Structure 1
């Protein structure tokens, strides 16, 4: 059913292709790759299980959030620390690290006007000068700007740029072997291209315009990865794979310390609207994140179930069918493997 459902999106040209992994505890329930993409040079490539994707905003939870947790664990920062303590050019003394993680800082979702590819702007200066749009701590507005600030805090505190810090402290010890910023040219042949810009597909360069102007390294976007690494990430987060990088109590806090539908970094399904990408059937407390290019990870700690879904949906432009695809996939997973015990 899952294979046919995803294939229907490909045949209707709603997505060019996808790779998906479904697992419950140690048991792999479903893994499948399908479709393909046109490379920068116009050649066609099939999507396979080792295809590398621009994972967009999954960067926020795969690189930035764990890096912040490492600094918290080392007591080099605290959740209640104001952003200004580390970034004095930021305008507001009431905004804390926890506010940035909860997306309730008051910062807008994005810069205005939106950043265009090929136009040079000083992203950090604009972020520092951004005005709050609502009272800090009173609402949730998912904000790239807050995560960019967290990336800068990581650099300021550790003395290492986010890409180097995340590689040494997160990716290598967690055995995420293909996860990196600014992938090498040797990997280009295996990277799914994203959107067509100036009659040529973007391939191997970050799709996000702000991250591109930040030299490909941002707390908000810029990371590339494949299904194998993101499966490993989910297994670590659900405790299926043991690790000694981040204490489990800190990881648990990321999906239990809630403000509305937000944990620390992650979205969390609370059973009330807004409806998240996991749909309505997943257990209360299920958590995950999505990426604009077409990527997502969703995890259910009650059932020890997770789904990693990777597609480069922006290949056909920015009007995508991702919400429909993601909710349909996650509903089917629950129907097949949880509600229908015989299927499992």
Structure 2
């Protein structure tokens, strides 16, 4: 862990991000540590060790994917279920749950001009009126819109908001007691400082993503707050085949569903998750067949490598005090390589 800490401390010293918490996970161990600052503005505060972070798009895999696949496990839904059969306002009759999970639905990535939108009702009006922008299953377009719709499926099928469903079916069973959508504000590492018509002041305990902000933080694509220890428990349960999904469904998380090389490199999606690619979040030494992961805009990432019995999660508020200062992304590959080098040295 000393090598990880010194590498990340260098990132703090170079002002790439304010600070970070991280955890290295195996079947038998869950080790956490942290470097740097909780906030830089309006006053500088060092991390104390119990901070909670806005985990941004890690919400997609930790909460939304898990809850959707639990419905499939329980035979209440199938991957081929048509979205329109659950959400009647959705206008495209052939879109399936699976297409949304693998980001191949034909839907656009985002809601245009989101900072001019004024209400949660307006967000959903825009989404339900959207046209498809490509032929489904022909490529991957990473889509917040698709996961917002999956969040609405969760609300409908569970008969409760996504935060209550996640608490009942994921966080409580796994002992993730510091995870949720309504965090203890004093412990939260703040994200961006705003001074515009959309919002004003330092975001602390309120979700950074604009769409989720308008949806009152209860969304399928972003809105979860958590700690590295809690996410470490989540990862460890998968490594130990003690996850909240069946073993068969958990194993399916690692199976490639679609590959797209139109961006100049191969992007391979599984159900909800992303496979590692060259110079990506898991370094260059992870096992492709047995590794999945995800990233988050606020400066977060995680990966799970079942073959090598390694999990890792890093949480940061790299968009603090302004998103333009976020320079953590370029460190992920080298950090992944350090982790695998440590494993080789340990052997």
TM-score (norm. length: structure 1): 0.91
Deviations, residues 283-322 of structure 1 (Å, cap 9, x unaligned): 1121111110011111101011011111110014223223
Structure 1, unmatched stretches of 5+, are none
State the shift of 1:51 in Å: 0.8
Q: What is the distance in 2 between the residues matched to 1:39 and 1:210?
A: 25
RMSD of the alignment, in Å? Answer: 1.8
State the shift of 1:119 in Å: 4.1
Structure 2, unmatched stretches of 5+, are 260-267
1:172-251 pair list within 5 angstroms: 172-183=172-183, 187-198=184-195, 200-239=201-240, 242-243=242-243, 245-251=244-250
Q: What is the distance in 1 between the residues matched to 2:76 and 2:48?
A: 41
From 285, 288, 306, the equivalent of 2:293 is: 288
CA contact (8 A) 2:63 2:170 kept: yes
Q: Secondary structure at the match of 2:45?
A: strand
State the shift of 1:201 in Å: 1.9
CA contact (8 A) 1:103 1:142 kept: yes
State the shift of 1:207 in Å: 0.5
State the shift of 1:24 in Å: 2.8
Question: Is 1:321 aligned with 2:327?
Answer: yes
CA contact (8 A) 1:117 1:209 kept: no
TM-score (norm. length: structure 2): 0.90
Question: Is 1:19 aligned with 2:21?
Answer: yes
Q: Secondary structure at the match of 2:77?
A: coil
Q: What is the distance in 2 between the residues matched to 1:188 and 1:163?
A: 16
CA contact (8 A) 2:194 2:202 kept: yes
Q: What is aligned with 2:52?
A: 52
Say how many residue pairs are matched: 330
Deviations, residues 157-194 of structure 1 (Å, cap 9, x unaligned): 221111111111111112110110122xxx22211000
Q: Secondary structure at the match of 2:333?
A: helix
State the shift of 1:117 in Å: 7.7
State the shift of 1:127 in Å: 1.2
CA contact (8 A) 1:15 1:311 kept: yes
Q: What is aligned with 1:258?
A: 257
State the shift of 1:266 in Å: 0.4
Q: What is the distance in 2 between the residues matched to 1:229 and 1:305?
A: 16
Question: Is 1:148 aligned with 2:148?
Answer: yes
